[in-house]
Amino acid sequence: MRTATTVEFSGAPGDVASFVVETERLGLDVCWVAEAWGADAPSALGYLAARTDRILLGSGILQVGTRTPVAVAQAAIALSNLSGGRFLLGLGASGPQVIEGLHGVQFARPLARVSETVDIVRQVFAGGKISHSGDEFQIPLPGGEGVPMRLSTRAEHTIPIYLAALSPAMLRLTGRIADGWLGTSFVPEGAADAYFAHLDRGLAAAGRTRADIDVCQGAEVAFAADEDELRGMLAGRRKELAFSLGGMGSSSTNYYNQAYGRQGWAEVAAQVRERWQSADREGAAALVTDDMVLATTLIGTEEMVRARLAVWRDAGVDTVRLYPAGDTPEAKLSTLGRAIELVRATG
C-alpha cells in the first residue's frame, strides 16, 4: 500500500509547509490538501509544490459547484506543470451545508454536476476547443456571442482525477470515470456490500477492473502503549465521531451517517444524529461505541494497528491516508513515521 496524509492550511502557512516537507523526508507518498470551509486548496498546493521535490500533491477535495469546470481544469494544469507532474486532482460534491450555506450555490443534482465537470475537465486537458451541452453546463453559452475556445496553456503531464464518494450512486460514477476513489468512514469488514459492490458495478460498466483505480481510504492513526491508554483515547474520539454522524451536512443530508448506516450501525447512527441535532452533544457521544471508533480508525497498540493495516490491505485498499494523532507537529510526525514503517512492512 502507498501512504498519504491530508493537511489543511488553517494555521500558519509556514508551519504547515514545514510539516509537509518533513512527511516527504519520512517517505510519505502523497499529501492531500483539504479545502472544506477553510483556505482554498490551489493556493496552498502551489506553495507546497515549491517547497517539495518528490511527494505527490493532491486536492482533497475541490468542491464541485464553487468553480466552473474550466476554472478547475486551469488550476489543475497550472499545479501539474508547476510541480513537474506531481499533482492529483481530487473532486467532490461536498454537501448542502457548505455548498449552499457557505458558497450560496444550490446543492442540486450533485451526481450530474460531478459527471459533467469531469467530462469538461478532461476535454480541457486534451487541449482542443471546449464544447459541452449538458443539463448542468453549456459551453459556449447558447444564444450568446461566444464560440468554442481552447486554453492557451497545455498540460505537460497526465493528471489523474480522483472522486470523493460515499453514496452508492457516486461510487458507481467513480468506478465509471475516475482514476481514484477518495473514501472515508471505511469499515473493511462491511466494505464489500457498502462500497465495493457499487464501485465494481461502475468499473464493469466502463469495461474496467479494480486494478484500473486507486482505492484511497483515510483514517486517524494513534498508538496506545497499553489497554488503559487505549480506553482513554477512545473516550476522546466518541464525540468526534458523534459530530460526523450528527453535525456533518445539513439537517436532512449527512453522507457520513448514511455510510455508517450501510455498514451495520443504522439504528445507533440515527439516534446519534437525533440527539446531536437537538443539541444534546454529550448524549450523542455517549451512544457511540468503542467498536464504531475502532472499526473506522487505525487506533490501538502497535500490534493492533499492524493487524488492522493487513485487514485494510486485504479488503482492497491501495493507498492508506493517515491522519496522525498528536498535540504538536513533532508528535504527529512521530506517529506518522511509525505508521509509515508499519504500512511498508504490511506490503
pLDDT in tens, 162-194: 999 999 999 999 999 999 999 998 999 989 999
CA dihedral over 137, 140, 142, 146, signed as positive or negative: positive
| Residue 39, pLDDT above cutoff 70 | yes
pLDDT top residue among 251 and 203: 203
pLDDT of residue 12: 83
| Residue 253, pLDDT above cutoff 80 | no
Q: How confident is the model at residue 255 (pLDDT cuts 50, 70, 90)?
A: confident
pLDDT in tens, 15-25: 999 999 999 99
* Distance from the first to the final alpha carbon of the chain: 6
CA atoms within 13 A on the CB side of 226: 1
| Domain residue ranges of the chain, discontinuous segments joined by + | 2-222+298-346, 225-297
State the Cα–Cα distance between residues 235 and 241, nearest whole angstrom: 11
What percentage of the chain reaches a pLDDT higher than 90? 78
- 83 phi-psi bin (left φ>0, alpha ψ -120 to 50, beta other): alpha
SS3 149: strand
Exposed (0-12), middle (13-18) or buried (19+): which is 12, by Cβ within 10 Å?
A: exposed
* Cell numbers at 158, concatenated: 497526465
| Residue 7, pLDDT above cutoff 90 | yes
pLDDT in tens, 110-151: 999 999 999 999 999 999 999 999 999 999 999 999 999 999
CA dihedral over 13, 18, 23, 25, signed as positive or negative: positive
DSSP string, 237-254: HHHHHHHHHHTSS-SS--
Cα distances (Å, whole numbers) of residue 41 to 49, 63, 79, 182, 183: 12, 10, 11, 16, 18
pLDDT of residue 2: 98
| Residue 251, pLDDT above cutoff 70 | no
**Cut 0.85: pTM above it:** yes
pLDDT of residue 238: 84
Mean pLDDT value of segment 283-311: 93
Mean pLDDT value of segment 213-239: 92
- Mention every residue, 6+ apart, whose C-beta is less than 8 A from residue 223: 300, 301, 302, 305, 325, 335, 338
Contact 287, 267 (CB under 8 A): no
pLDDT mean across residues, the chain: 94
User: Going by DSSP bridges, is the β-strand pair 214-223/2-7 parallel, antiparallel, or unpaired?
Assistant: unpaired
User: Going by DSSP bridges, is the β-strand pair 2-7/298-300 parallel, antiparallel, or unpaired?
Assistant: unpaired
Q: Report the helix count and the strand count for the chain, using DSSP H and E.
A: 15, 12
pLDDT of residue 237: 86
Work out the angle at residue 196's Cα, subtended by the Cα atoms of residues 192 and 198, and round it to the nearest 5 degrees: 120
SS3 318: coil
CATH code at 2-222+298-346: 3.20.20.30
Q: How confident is the model at residue 264 (pLDDT cuts 50, 70, 90)?
A: confident
State the Cα–Cα distance between residues 324 and 295, nearest whole angstrom: 17
pLDDT in tens, 153-162: 999 999 999 9
pLDDT top residue among 55 and 245: 55
- Mention every residue, 6+ apart, whose C-beta is less than 8 A from residue 118: 91, 161, 163, 177, 178
